[in-house]
Amino acid sequence: LGLLYQEYRDKSTREEIETRRLQDSQTDPEESSPSEETSSEAEPSSTTESKAPPQISLLRNSNSRFNLWQDLPEIRSSGVLSILQPDEIKLQEAMFELVTSEASYYKSLNLLVSHFMENERLKKILHQSEAHILFSNVLDVMAVSERFLMDLEQRVEENIVISDVCDIVYQHTVNHFSVYITYVSNQTYQERAYKQLLQDKPAFREVISQLELDPKCKGLSFSSFLILPFQRITRLKLLVQNILKKVEEKSDRESTALDAHKELETVVKACNEGVRKMSRTEQMISIQKKLEFKIKSVPIISHSRWLLKQGELQQMNGPKTSRTLRTKKLFREIYLFLFNDLLVLCRQIPGDKYQVFDSAPRGLLRVEELEDQGQSLANVFILRLLENADDREASYMLKASSQSEMKRWMISLAPNRRTKFVSFTSRLVDCPQMQCVHPYVAQQPDELSLELADVLNILDKTDDGWIFGERLHDQERGWFPSSIGEEILNPKIRAQNLKECFRVHKSDDSQRRKLGSRNRQ
């Protein structure tokens, strides 16, 4: 393909956003354009199956641009578009996008290797260990992509109507895609090494800048090439989801798509866990060094523990009856470290240290918001420790700097507390939704990184511009600025999004029900 994967992906997601905007502005989703999503499918005519497969030259033509399956000359001249049902054409487009995007991805990987990794000047500058950290096992990743693409191309060329691609996705995910876990798990060290090389080696910085200016790179940065494998494995799961929404229910193609999606989900989760594990271990060691215990010491470092949120709040001094006192006398600083299974309450002391004066298991925390208490008690909530470090119940009245900060702490401290809007996992008929129109990178552990065209359920929102949401395709939750998204106003589109989401995750739901049944027995 003429497009590098970064360009292809950006164009594809922008078109997805515009399609959803068009759908949202219509009163009936069925009136949408042929490229829009639907969840039903008609089988192709048997007459079509008997046609001799023509050569589809798109994948071998480096001058080809971003095309639809139905726009290919071979497809138009075959007359097949007059035979297939509209739903089948949409399915063909979804499968074709998976193939063409893999071709674009392989093109970008090849450029990363040939233009950057194998550059002779760069080789002389980098020590072997530095090159290994920077490029990791990208050669393995490229070899896997090449093999995958060859099988996809062969399938496309077998017949003018693509029979399926998810069976190929399944086989390659099970047998070959573990190379992605290795590459992505190295991401933390890769980013650090790249920053260090830019800072310490002017010659490296100069060569990278010159290579980035080459017309081959089309103005794209070196780092945008390094992150390709992680972006691709995540996007591949979404492309399979898109196919799954379009295949006929209870068909063989649905079963194959569900199997492929399940295996990709496993790989993506392993990739995410690999990244988190590397950074979490270092973070826990750093926190442990900063803590001094005024109470009985609690071991902080554990393989199953990680930081969820940390920060300063204001604690009210004295009993609750002293609420009428002035604010400056009422509150003093308190610093919280909240882990997935433990809360540690501290006071900051000189030397960038924190003195721990109380703690409690996260499961034994309760929160309560104070409402209509006047300006001095705005953004104040009660934190109850059902069993603290002294094995007794304790309460703290805490004040946050803003409404969003208060809500973020309350949801992190007590995650099972009901939010303003209920999650789609509760099978709510309607719930506020939005789509991401500007990518966002999480700045805090309780925030959610978002990609273009992500669709989310809105679980809570604040007056100062923050939203707590749940992404539909993977059910991950977190906070993000409201400015990065657009609300989906059409209730029929929201209902359609939920229906598609239930379908994608129905195999997960049935597995959970079976597990729950076994546990009860």
DSSP per residue, 269-280:
HHHHHHHHHHHH
Would residue 114 count as lying in a domain?
yes
Q: Which helix (H) or strand (E) holds 77?
A: helix 73-78
CATH number of the domain enclosing 493 = 2.30.30.40
Going by the DSSP 8-state scheme, the letter that residue 447 receives in this structure is B
Would residue 200 count as lying in a domain?
yes
Alpha carbons 110 and 279: distance in angstroms, whole number: 29
353, 379, 413: which is the final residue of a domain?
413
DSSP per residue, 381-414:
EEEEESS-TTSS-EEEEEE-SSHHHHHHHHHHHS
Shared domain for 434 and 350, answered yes or no, is no
Shared domain for 104 and 239, answered yes or no, is yes
Shared domain for 141 and 120, answered yes or no, is yes
Would residue 35 count as lying in a domain?
no
Would residue 46 count as lying in a domain?
no
Determine contact, residues 4/107, Cβ cutoff 8 Å.
yes
Shared domain for 243 and 369, answered yes or no, is no
Sequence-separated contacts (24+) of 19-27 with Cβ below 8 Å: 20/435, 20/453, 20/455, 20/488, 20/493, 21/486, 23/490, 23/493, 24/488, 24/489, 24/490, 24/493, 25/490, 26/490, 27/490, 27/492
Q: Where are the beta strands (DSSP E) in 80-203?
A: none
And the tokens for 69?
Answer: 């399956």
And the tokens for 377?
Answer: 């008690």
Relative to beta strand 380-385, strand 394-399 is antiparallel
And the tokens for 414?
Answer: 């007590």
Q: Which helix (H) or strand (E) holds 291?
A: strand 291-293
DSSP per residue, 192-207:
HHHHHHHHH-HHHHHH
SS3 346: strand
HEC string of 96-114?
HHHHHHHHHHHHHHHHHHH
Shared domain for 134 and 274, answered yes or no, is yes
Shared domain for 268 and 124, answered yes or no, is yes
Would residue 459 count as lying in a domain?
yes
* Residues in contact with 79: Cβ distance below 8 Å, sequence separation at least 6, in sequence order: none
Q: Where are the beta strands (DSSP E) in 342-471?
A: 342-349, 353-361, 365-369, 380-385, 394-399, 433-436, 455-461, 466-471
Shared domain for 127 and 221, answered yes or no, is yes
Q: How many residues does the chain have?
A: 521
Q: Which helix (H) or strand (E) holds 477?
A: strand 477-481
pLDDT recorded at residue 508: 58
Shared domain for 298 and 387, answered yes or no, is yes
413, 441, 475: which is the final residue of a domain?
413
C-alpha closest to that of 342 among 313, 309, 367, 314: 309
What is the residue range of 208's domain? 65-286
Shared domain for 402 and 492, answered yes or no, is no
Number of structural domains, the chain? 3
CA distances from 253 to 41, 51, 241, 284, 344 (A): 11, 21, 12, 45, 51
CATH number of the domain enclosing 189 = 1.20.900.10
Determine contact, residues 419/410, Cβ cutoff 8 Å.
no
pLDDT recorded at residue 147: 97
Q: Which residue type sits at 288?
A: Q
Would residue 188 count as lying in a domain?
yes
Would residue 384 count as lying in a domain?
yes
pLDDT recorded at residue 11: 85
* Residues in contact with 221: Cβ distance below 8 Å, sequence separation at least 6, in sequence order: 212
pLDDT recorded at residue 321: 43
Would residue 186 count as lying in a domain?
yes
Mean per-residue pLDDT over the chain, rounded? 85
Shared domain for 154 and 217, answered yes or no, is yes
Shared domain for 306 and 435, answered yes or no, is no
pLDDT recorded at residue 408: 95
Alpha carbons 186 and 274: distance in angstroms, whole number: 8
Dihedral angle of Cα 307, 313, 316, 320, to the nearest 10 degrees? -60
* Residues in contact with 347: Cβ distance below 8 Å, sequence separation at least 6, in sequence order: 333, 334, 335, 354, 355, 357
CATH number of the domain enclosing 363 = 2.30.29.30
Could you tell me if residue 464 is left (phi over 0), alpha (psi between -120 and 50 degrees) or otherwise beta? alpha
Stretches where the chain sits below pLDDT 70 are 1, 27-66, 318-329, 372-376, 417-430, 506-521
* Residues in contact with 253: Cβ distance below 8 Å, sequence separation at least 6, in sequence order: 41, 164, 166, 247
Q: Which helix (H) or strand (E) holds 288?
A: helix 252-290
362, 381, 413: which is the final residue of a domain?
413
pLDDT recorded at residue 372: 62
Shared domain for 210 and 98, answered yes or no, is yes
Q: Which residue type sits at 212?
A: E
